[in-house]
Amino acid sequence: MKPRNWAIAASISFLAMMLVYGYGASRMFSLDMRKECTYFLHQDYDPKYASAGEQFFPLSKKCNASYNMVPSFVNPSVVLFLGVTSLCAGAAVVAAVRRRRAVPLRVN
């Protein structure tokens, strides 16, 4: 495959990673945690877990001990897309080096 195709695949994977991360991060923000957990998510609000704060990697914000406001698919997807991005970027570099070496030099 051409280096450009690997670079495009890496770019798409990186964009997908950023979109999934952005979706997970958007689920963390609320103006009133008690109301968000109790009325909208139908979960018990435990201030002990809610006051523990939020984490940005892995994404996490808890209403109580058993409920996280960030969907469970977000963190594994971010790691998966990061791995695919790294592999595709590495393959692009390897393909570019091989292509560069395969071009014969013209000596006049």
Q: What is the mean pLDDT of residues 35-51?
A: 89
Q: How confident is the model at residue 40 (pLDDT cuts 50, 70, 90)?
A: very high
CB-CB contact of 69 with 62 (8 Å): yes
Of 27-31, 51-55, 99-103, 104-108, highest mean pLDDT? 27-31
Nearest alpha carbon to residue 29 among 74, 61, 75: 61
Reported as a single tens digit per residue, the pLDDT across 59-91 is 999 999 899 999 999 999 999 999 999 999 999
CB-CB contact of 52 with 28 (8 Å): no
pTM of the entire predicted model: 0.84
Domain boundaries, the chain: 1-27+71-103, 29-70
CB-CB contact of 70 with 60 (8 Å): yes
CB-CB contact of 103 with 97 (8 Å): no
R_g of the chain, CA atoms, integer Å: 22
Residues making up the chain, counted from first to last: 108
Q: Which residue has the tokens 């690997």?
A: 6
**Does residue 53 surpass a pLDDT of 90?**
no
Nearest alpha carbon to residue 65 among 52, 55, 84: 52
Calpha distance 98→78 (Å, rounded): 30
